[in-house]
Structure 1
Amino acid sequence: MMRWLGRLAALLVAAVLLLAMQWTTPLYDEMIASIPARGQIGDTVAARKFTIRIETIQFARQLRFEAYGKEEVRDTSGLWAVVTATLAARSETTMVNDAYWEGPAGLLYSHSNRLSGVRPLLTDALLQPGLPRRGWFIFEIREDQARGATFVAPNPGLNPLDSVVRVALGAGSGGAALPILDSLDLNRTPGAME
């Protein structure tokens, strides 16, 4: 009888240990997830291959810019979010192929592809070590996704086990009105020079 109780106790202890291991073991997606590097506007945030410092954000309902020798105008039903930033490669030539505006509701907005000819867009810019580049990431977003947003680069789903920059883009839903310009001329905006 004692032998049987000893075996039952050992079996129960083993079952509890296995159950505890199952509950505490992370899922595969969590084990290979990207490693976030977090910061605020004005901070220099370092990922494995690059650093970024987001300087300003401007919102507008219309963008004006010169491309290929003529003035272009782009309207949107939401808002244009123009993020001025400085990027620098850390130790090897690299590119930041994608960047996202993550709204407070979790909606992800990719950089706009409707701005062909705008200089200096930072998406797909070739970065060399020791040569920082200043320019813009430009997004089309819904107006209700402007406050409490996060800048994310590169795509966390495509870079397992690599670092991903997450920069908080300001306070939550405060009482102050959001500064929205009717029209923003990119040729006369700080950040226009590389």
Structure 2
Amino acid sequence: MSMRVLGNLVILAATVALSYGMQLSKPHYADLTAPIPVDGAMHDTVRARSFDVRLDGVVFARALKTNQFGQQKLLTTSGVWAVVTTSLTATDASITVADGTWQGPTGLRYRQTERLGYRQDMPPHSVDPGLQKRGLFVFEVPPDQIRGARLLISERRFGALDAQARISFDGLPAGADGQPAGILPQYDLDAPPGQTSQGQTSQGKTSQAKP
């Protein structure tokens, strides 16, 4: 084999290797159009492009009590109910904040529950400039996806290159088994804010501020 042929083979092999490396390192379309994260912590106001949001608190419960079509329902889950309370405000114009996602510490994501049907305090949340609105986001999550989790909120589900608030659940107390401390046996979504289904205030029984 001549030196010229050997040199051509080396150049060809290098070109193939370079092309393969560029293909592996090239960003995917989903990455190029992914939401733009705006990070924050609980009780801080996170300013996205079209809205401000503050994560006020979260309550964990084994079951949810709710009124559906005039009937009392008790909804159980194989995991834990997480009832998240937020304060929402539009920045420049009236908008709808429709998307909420629970992201666990391993990166697994859980969509907001669809088992509650339509409620005025559930997404989609219509918000106006200068008027703060209380909004709930409710999830069913495994206990091992709570510690180190984040709440992801955006105006719509597939908002390419739009801002997405990513709020950390900081300092959630946990027991020896890793589950959050103070899980309620049941929580009444229709009770006045700050009360459980037994009519008692949830202070001291929940891990953070009360929905």
TM range, smaller chain:
0.7 to 0.9
Inter-partner Cα distance in structure 2 for 1:28 and 1:156: 21
Q: 2: CA distance between counterparts of 1:191 and 1:51?
A: 23
Percent identity (aligned):
36
**How far apart in 1 are the matches of 2:156 and 2:94?**
20
Q: 1:42 to 1:116 in 2, by over 3 A?
A: same
Is 2:75 the counterpart of 1:88? no
- For residues 131 and 76 of structure 2, what CA distance do their matches in structure 1 show? 33
Consecutive unaligned residues of structure 1, counting only runs of 5 or more, are 1-17
Normalising by structure 1, report the TM-score. 0.77
Aligned AA (1:142): P
Query: Is the 1:134–1:191 contact (alpha carbons within 8 Å) kept by the matching residues of 2?
Result: no
* Superposed displacement of residue 191, structure 1: 6.9
TM-fit CA distance, 1:66: 2.4
For 1:74, the equivalent position in structure 2 comes to 75
Unaligned 5+ residue runs, structure 2? 1-17, 196-211
SS state of the match for residue 144, structure 2? helix
Higher helix share: 1
Deviating above 6 A after TM superposition, structure 1's stretches of 4 or more consecutive aligned residues are none
AA paired with 2:163?
A: S
Structure-2 residue corresponding to 1:43? 44
Computed over aligned residues only, the root mean square deviation of the Cα atoms, in angstroms, reads 3.0
Q: Distance in 2 between matches of 1:175 and 1:79?
A: 15
1:113-171 CA-to-partner distances (Å, cap 9, x unmatched) read 101254411x1121122222103100011111111100012289722221111000124
Give the AA of the match of 2:68: A
Residue 51 of structure 1 and its aligned partner are, at CA, apart by 0.8
Partner residue in 1 for 2:98: 97
Q: Which residue of 2 aligns with 1:4?
A: none
Cα contact 2:39–2:166 (8 A) shared by 1: yes
Q: What do the CA deviations read for 1:40-63 (whole angstroms, capped 9, x no partner)? A: 010010110111101011100100
CA apart distance, 1:172: 7.5
